[in-house]
Amino acid sequence: MAALAGRFPKLPLHGIGHSLGGQAFTLIDELEGFSSITVVTAGSGDLRSYPPHLRALYTVQLTALIPLIALFGYTPGWLGLRYDLPGGVVAEWSRWCRTRGYVAGVFPERPFPRPIPPRIPLRFFDVADDRIAPPPATEALRRLYDAPHQTHRVVNASEFGRKSFGHFGPFRPFAVPLWDALLPPVPRR
């Protein structure tokens, strides 16, 4: 943020975070520097906020399968995380997901989440058929932000003539019509 502000001091800073990136705003100390924040398909990682069938699936993956494979140095993306990730990163994230309260439970000494100042528009975009950040988990994250000035939109696959949309759908070419909505409103001159 400091580098961007130094390089472009007169431009507003708008944050758009997907998945873990949407959770990360709760950890940033310099929130005052943002003009708006958009959170896309991000939910609390606390497995207790997931529907029972997904909680069971992810518990097995996070406690047995992924840590075992991570012993080889990395976790391959084909296991469901989409990208190859270093084993240590996945092991830490797995611990966060299995801890009550997610990041707040792992770092109780750190204020989590950071309060979002009321002057900063906070917008959430969720996907109805998202199995990685399903509706109960996204709702749990919205409650964590505890910002009365937030807005929320649920995107359905049918809006785009599709049977499914999924966690990464908002960034696929078929979702181009959604992209303008993800960007912050541009003030008129």
Same domain, 55 and 90: yes
Position 58 pLDDT exceeds 60 = yes
Position 183 pLDDT exceeds 60 = yes
Position 189 pLDDT exceeds 60 = no
Mean of the per-residue pLDDT values of the chain: 86
Same domain, 151 and 63: no
CA dist., res. 175 & res. 162, Å (int) = 10
Tell me the per-residue pLDDT of 117-174, one tens digit each, with 9 for 90 and over: 888 889 999 999 999 999 999 998 898 887 778 999 999 999 999 999 999 999 999 9
Residue % of the chain over a pLDDT of 90: 36
Same domain, 93 and 118: no
Tell which phi-psi region holds residue 16, choosing left (phi > 0), alpha (psi between -120 and 50) or beta.
Answer: beta
Of the two residues 146 and 94, the one the predictor is more confident about is 94
How many structural domains are present in the chain? 2
What pLDDT does 39 receive? 95
Domain that holds residue 127: 13-46+113-175
How sure is the predictor about 187, in pLDDT bands with cuts at 50, 70 and 90?
low
- The answer to whether the beta carbons of residues 34 and 119 sit under 8 Å apart is no
Same domain, 169 and 128: yes
Same domain, 31 and 51: no
The CATH number of the domain where 117 resides is what? Answer: 3.40.50.1820
Same domain, 55 and 86: yes
Same domain, 28 and 67: no
Position 86 pLDDT exceeds 80 = yes
Q: What is the pTM of this model?
A: 0.85
What pLDDT does 85 receive? 84
Structural domain contains residue 80: yes
Report phi then psi at 132, rounded to 5.
-85, -40
Same domain, 135 and 124: yes
Structural domain contains residue 130: yes
Tell me the C-alpha to C-alpha distance, in Å, between residue 113 and each of 23, 26, 53, 66, 127. Answer: 9, 4, 27, 27, 23
What pLDDT does 186 receive? 63
Same domain, 141 and 93: no
Same domain, 34 and 120: yes
What pLDDT does 154 receive? 96
* Residue position matching structure tokens 């509706």: 135
What pLDDT does 126 receive? 96
Same domain, 134 and 146: yes
Structural domain contains residue 186: no
Same domain, 73 and 149: no
